[in-house]
Structure 1
Amino acid sequence: MTARPPSSVILGAIGDDFTGAVELAGMLTAGGARTLLVTSVADIPSQLVAIDAVVMALRSRVAPASEALHEIGRAAAAFQALDVRQIFFKYCATFDSTDDGNIGNCAELLMAHTDARSVLFCPSFPEAGRTVYQGHHFVGDQLLENSPKRLDPLTPMTRSDLMAVLAPQTAKTVGLLPWATVQAGEAAVRAYAAARAAAGVPFLIVDALNENDLRAIAAATWDWPLMTGGSSVAAYFPAQWRANGLVADNPAPRPERIRGAAAVLAGSCADRTREQIDAFAQNHPMLTLDLKADEDATIAAALSWAHRIGPSVPICIASSSGPEAVAEVQARFGVIAAGRRAERLLGKIAIGLVDLGVRRFLVAGGETSGAVIQALGISQLRVAPYAGLGVGRCMADHPSRLSFCLKSGKLGDIDMFARVLTEMGDEA
């Protein structure tokens, strides 16, 4: 294979929320890929040297379909200007979406941008207990429709058949790439996808039960113009790049640590996040925001509370609520407006906390993470190698040197908040 020019990028990845984008960047980094994470299309450099992958963190998952398509299209155009070899569209391992999108519609747009003939959809994440068999999605030993995801306030997942989930989102015909074909290996996957595309079925939900399945899927698709899935399948791309002479065997960097006060900002309403908040609150100051109150007064009160606590102990400020409280706020403001109200509050509070000296943030929730990063005006992040479920470590240099753990709402062990904030701190 011809050696790759030093200024070219192999992979341009689009994450549909911030925690997912950080997770993906962390997995690529752990695999030895030199990875840059950016937070807007405008922040993708026109030329890059010594970068193997660029991950673009969007907030398209729960955006109105027209807004999501606009942002996905801009990201695709920017990656095409970089002449990337492949675009990868990363979404949640539980395929979080609605009949309006934003997976099938965005994949259809990306297919048009890349002239791809086949598109696989591979959300399986065996490490987290997310698997697909016969096109049906499982969370552990539960069908998706029976799992807590059925109660998600923004993307309630009430169907386990992912072909049925995807079909309303796209004009393309949706089929299945079965487990038996995955088991047969790379050549079988390529041949099956090509045959189904020729028969008018370009979109395929792919079965995957374990890491060997993901490895085979990655081997079959690493050189396609377009691939979609969870971060766990893309984690196997760097090994393919090395095997094909595209990258050197680079060591993964060590996570950076930083001094300064620490805070948890929690916007996710997932059961696991609320359990983590309760565990943290047993030994740390905790404040729950009233989303129905005046925004300016709520922000001022939260920052006054944080100032009184002082920098010596980590704090938690949360808008997270149970299903009944969420439903009440959504009924008053609307589903999307209620979520964005919470995100706006936590973003503005984050700005005030930086002014108070907070330098370590653990942010719970994908949409909340995006809101906080954008509110702080952060355009690029250095992502630490992936270390485990729910722990996406990264660093920013502007507006101050800040350390983040951006956590998916439904992942991470119950006691992780205090432990991770300590791990982010300077050893000195």
Structure 2
Amino acid sequence: MSDGPAYGFYGDDFTGATDTLAHLARAGLRTMLFFQPPTDAQLDAAGPLDAIGVASAARAMAPPAMKPALMRAGARFAELGVRILHYKVCSTFDSSPALGSIGAAVSTLRGFFPNPLVPVIGGQPGLQRYCAFGNLFAAGSSTGGGEAPPVLRIDRHPTMSRHPATPMLEADLRLHLQDQGLPGMGLIDWRHYTSTSGRLDAQVNGHIESACPAVLFDVLDDAHLAPIGRLLAERSAGVPLLAVGPSSVAQAWTMATRSADSSVPIASPAAALQVQRSSGPVFVFAGSLSPTTSRQIDAAHSYSRVEIDPAQVDAGSLDRYLDDIVTLLRSGKNVLTFTSRAFDQTSNRRDDTTRACAALVRRVVMSMTLRRICIAGGDTSSFAVQALGGWGLSYIGAIAEGVAMCRLHADAEELDGIEIALKGGQMGGIDFFERLLDESARRTTDKPNL
């Protein structure tokens, strides 16, 4: 690695950004995730870094609101000499022309990373997300009995096809993204990975010569990431490159750039040590309405529960909820606060409700000393972590595939060092919230970066 960070990533939400942080850290890269483009003082505090990230709420923003934040981040990444900027999107690619537009992000960031190749990596097998011939597939819910869950086309997925803000109604990612400003995308299907590197390069060059705005790469297996990683490393060596996709972009990069004799093995959640029991009560806020999170809430037997009706959230009700939550926590009870399952997230009050819930999380944390918290839900996590007022996260260990335990870095003493897990709605097993509490959760052999 050079003196500066070669790898940069910009997360369109906080949960996904921590997943990328985890993959890079487990590969032995010194990595820090910031909440804004880092200042020189924050970089000095972090120490030497191989990779840096910025987490955002872009997935929940309209393009006009996305652009100024992306401009600031793109300029800062370029100033720091980043060779590859990974625009990190959800592995299900849920987005739309009006909300979290991936095309709008590409058009803004390309000015800072002018490589003619813009690769879009279309799957993350570790999360059971697959891209075949340009079409995205994702695992559904387990059928029980130890059987593997069915894998469904994303536009037929029972959760993602009905996402309250950005339902996935088209499985072909080229068609999905053309409505967001990326018409005529090229495709490298999985069969090209078995050919020679020269033939793969020729296919990529052909798409570039055809002036494709981006090139989609199939991913059906982790082995497919190795040739993609080689392309990323080689193509970014001369001209800085913008890549789009889930954390599989980081996986591909580390496969190609880590030295073969590296003394730091790539760790995975499956090969992990146990997480120590939390030193105090754990506070969980679940804003996700996904069926997976609902089942996890039902299975969380070690918590006192506080149900919130988001449609009735106002300043007065926040005080009432706050009193109930803090009273339980001060008595030593773990508390799981969750939004009513009947809430209509398609309502016009959705953003106001999310911000109100984020404010509640901050008020709970500021009301007493907590050492471990968890926030479930992509948009909820993004707004809540921003509301807390810290400036960064470093990696501690893995709770489940796709969910990292992180350390919060903040100037405020009462916030600095809090252990925080951010969980996407569909992530984790049914016992996730129980595993969050004690040694039944699992931790990788990695030490925190800071």
Q: TM-score, normalised by structure 1?
A: 0.88
Among candidates 232, 243, 259, match of residue 248 of structure 2: 232
Inter-CA distance 188–406: structure 2 relative to 1 (3 Å threshold): farther
1:366-381 map, 5 Å: 366-381=378-393
Inter-CA distance 340–28: structure 2 relative to 1 (3 Å threshold): farther
Kindly indicate whether the alpha-carbon contact (under 8 Å) linking 1:16 and 1:58 is maintained by their aligned counterparts in 2.
Answer: yes
Q: Does 1:267 align with 2:287?
A: yes
Between the aligned partners of 1:211 and 1:171, the Cα distance in structure 2 is 26
Inter-CA distance 320–102: structure 2 relative to 1 (3 Å threshold): farther
1:21-420 map, 5 Å: 21-43=17-39, 50-100=48-98, 101-140=100-139, 141-147=151-157, 148-184=159-195, 186-223=197-234, 224=236, 225-243=241-259, 249-250=263-264, 259-280=279-300, 282-309=301-328, 310-319=330-339, 321-322=341-342, 325-327=343-345, 330-331=346-347, 334=348, 337-386=349-398, 388-398=400-410, 399=412, 400=414, 401-420=417-436
Inter-CA distance 45–121: structure 2 relative to 1 (3 Å threshold): farther
Kindly indicate whether the alpha-carbon contact (under 8 Å) linking 1:214 and 1:236 is maintained by their aligned counterparts in 2.
Answer: yes
Between the aligned partners of 1:252 and 1:243, the Cα distance in structure 2 is 12
Inter-CA distance 133–284: structure 2 relative to 1 (3 Å threshold): same
1:273 aligned counterpart, secondary structure? helix
More helix by share: 1
- Name stretches of at least 5 consecutive residues in structure 2 with no aligned partner: 140-150, 268-272, 444-450
Between the aligned partners of 2:106 and 2:331, the Cα distance in structure 1 is 45
2:427 aligned counterpart, secondary structure? coil
Between the aligned partners of 1:80 and 1:344, the Cα distance in structure 2 is 35
Aligned length: 411
2:108 aligned counterpart, secondary structure? helix
Q: Which amino acid aligns with 1:188?
A: R
Between the aligned partners of 2:320 and 2:131, the Cα distance in structure 1 is 46
Between the aligned partners of 2:201 and 2:89, the Cα distance in structure 1 is 22
Q: Which amino acid aligns with 2:168?
A: M
Inter-CA distance 154–251: structure 2 relative to 1 (3 Å threshold): same
Encode CA deviations 1:213-240: one digit per residue, 9 max, x unaligned. Answer: 1222112213422211110231232342
CA-atom RMSD in angstroms:
2.6
Q: Which amino acid aligns with 1:305?
A: D
1:362 aligned counterpart, secondary structure? strand
1:88 aligned counterpart, secondary structure? strand
Inter-CA distance 391–421: structure 2 relative to 1 (3 Å threshold): farther
Q: CA deviation at 1:397?
A: 4.1
Between the aligned partners of 2:52 and 2:318, the Cα distance in structure 1 is 34
Inter-CA distance 380–113: structure 2 relative to 1 (3 Å threshold): same
Between the aligned partners of 1:252 and 1:120, the Cα distance in structure 2 is 24
Encode CA deviations 1:63-83: one digit per residue, 9 max, x unaligned. Answer: 011111221221111101111
Q: CA deviation at 1:46?
A: 7.9
Encode CA deviations 1:353-397: one digit per residue, 9 max, x unaligned. Answer: 342232211110122112221111110111124563242110124
2:436 aligned counterpart, secondary structure? helix
Between the aligned partners of 1:255 and 1:41, the Cα distance in structure 2 is 33
Q: CA deviation at 1:352?
A: 2.4
Between the aligned partners of 2:42 and 2:319, the Cα distance in structure 1 is 40
- Name stretches of at least 5 consecutive residues in structure 1 with no aligned partner: none
2:373 aligned counterpart, secondary structure? strand
Between the aligned partners of 1:418 and 1:380, the Cα distance in structure 2 is 26
Inter-CA distance 33–218: structure 2 relative to 1 (3 Å threshold): same
Kindly indicate whether the alpha-carbon contact (under 8 Å) linking 2:20 and 2:250 is maintained by their aligned counterparts in 1.
Answer: yes
Inter-CA distance 425–261: structure 2 relative to 1 (3 Å threshold): farther
Q: CA deviation at 1:339?
A: 3.3
* Superposed structure 1 runs of 4+ greater than 4 Å apart: 42-49, 248-258, 423-426
Inter-CA distance 75–340: structure 2 relative to 1 (3 Å threshold): farther
Inter-CA distance 89–249: structure 2 relative to 1 (3 Å threshold): farther
Between the aligned partners of 1:416 and 1:73, the Cα distance in structure 2 is 37
Percentage identity across aligned positions? 25
Kindly indicate whether the alpha-carbon contact (under 8 Å) linking 2:282 and 2:371 is maintained by their aligned counterparts in 1.
Answer: yes
Kindly indicate whether the alpha-carbon contact (under 8 Å) linking 1:343 and 1:367 is maintained by their aligned counterparts in 2.
Answer: no
1:202 aligned counterpart, secondary structure? coil
Kindly indicate whether the alpha-carbon contact (under 8 Å) linking 1:242 and 1:249 is maintained by their aligned counterparts in 2.
Answer: no
Which is further off, 69-78 or 350-359?
350-359
Encode CA deviations 1:171-191: one digit per residue, 9 max, x unaligned. Answer: 553121111113325443333
1:113 aligned counterpart, secondary structure? coil
Q: Which amino acid aligns with 1:279?
A: A
1:114 aligned counterpart, secondary structure? coil
Kindly indicate whether the alpha-carbon contact (under 8 Å) linking 1:182 and 1:188 is maintained by their aligned counterparts in 2.
Answer: no
Encode CA deviations 1:269-323: one digit per residue, 9 max, x unaligned. Answer: 111111111211x44211111222242122211121123323422111112534x
Q: CA deviation at 1:340?
A: 4.1
2:11 — aligned with what? 15
1:287 aligned counterpart, secondary structure? strand
